Structure 1
């Protein structure tokens, strides 16, 4: 193989297989000399790939963990598997990885060949995912289109259905995608209304980049705080107060709202207060999945949702 860049990519692809490669085997596979392999290994090291060499008659090479994440070379099957997994993670807002899933998916789909994109689409259409409790689902293609426009930055057009069911067409300068754990929101500057707006992504359809670049405006606050304030001001937002029996084991989305101890036999119980725009049924199910015993103090609609969920589970268990 005389093409040095192509040979380096082939060598990198082999080294990313978790095993040690004798220098002679690498030379045979790439149809070059052992000396060329040594030079290519040095080139990879200069590019930031931590290739470890072992001594001996044959000598061997393997890729090890380094201080930074170097670029990866994926074959067709690996690329399809990762794209499908990222789509699943992005579309259902898996806590802690949802925003990273969207960024990675946008990068991957930008360079994915057409034949592989079709395979990913076929797998996605043949897969049935369990919907979240509030029934709001997000098309990963919509997320990646928005993420690409945010990264551009590029003005974006889309159709939007408001809470009251009214449809409209929007032209915006997208600023950030924000996940609350159960829903995705787009923070953007609405060109026609000349103001900042928050859009629920599950109500967005037909997103299309316009090709018009723009200089990002300065949002007067953090994007996450902008979304939180919008939810608190919305008609569907309501205050929540819950006591958990212990503080350990609480996920970040709960722990960040702890307001202090709540007594308890061992003094370890903690009280949590926050505001939510999720349906009470979905929120109480999410609280139950934390895996720590808890008591709901309010509001009454959440107390009733907890009682109803407990009754259904007891009935299901034959109690």
Structure 2
């Protein structure tokens, strides 16, 4: 019976795929492989798959002139909810309804069905609604979650931690001496530094981590399931990656750093309490010389 079910799933016209906790493809049925141009033995990450689809103009139809910005935005939504459903286009003309279901081990099951027969007027209305919702959740400069969206995710993860006891690490990250960067190099250069910061950090995150811009040069990072030592190790790697970056081609010697304040959720904590401890820790990091991490 199990082998018959497995054969039926593999030959089903419904697109089926499993991505592991690192967002790497571990299983795809024939329909998914055909739609996204995946060989049966390939284990691409989701980001690698989307980049290849974009470069080859096959598989996912990605409407953008800036793929990296699109990828940052897409990753800021992927894996953040236990279940998500959305519409997507394929380059072969099909229109699919994609669902993403997170599993307890951090993996993700993706299931997609063909919706190409839906009326064009209904499709356009749904797309307009989705675009408006996405814009309301996205920071326009960096394409990651805006303050409202990341704080909403913060509330959800706190509720999950309270219900399950799952650890939750929270970090506020601030770019060091950012006003001086703006004053010395100008606001366009400052914007490029902020974009570079996001591009350094996001590839180091897991699919279910939360990352959003609170405003200006301040960002919020949510790391569910991480112990204190795991969170500190991850954050120190991020600080090192930022310090090594040289984001301005016309200023090859220019670099920048950031500071981070870390707090762990404790049973009974509300959002304000966790946030306040992370903020105090950030202040301590700034006071001890910047380009460092403190925990409170």
TM interval, shorter chain, is under 0.3
1 or 2, which has the higher helix percentage?
2
Higher RCO (C-alpha 8 Å, min separation 6): 2
Q: In terms of Rg, which structure is larger?
A: 1
TM-score, length basis structure 2? 0.25
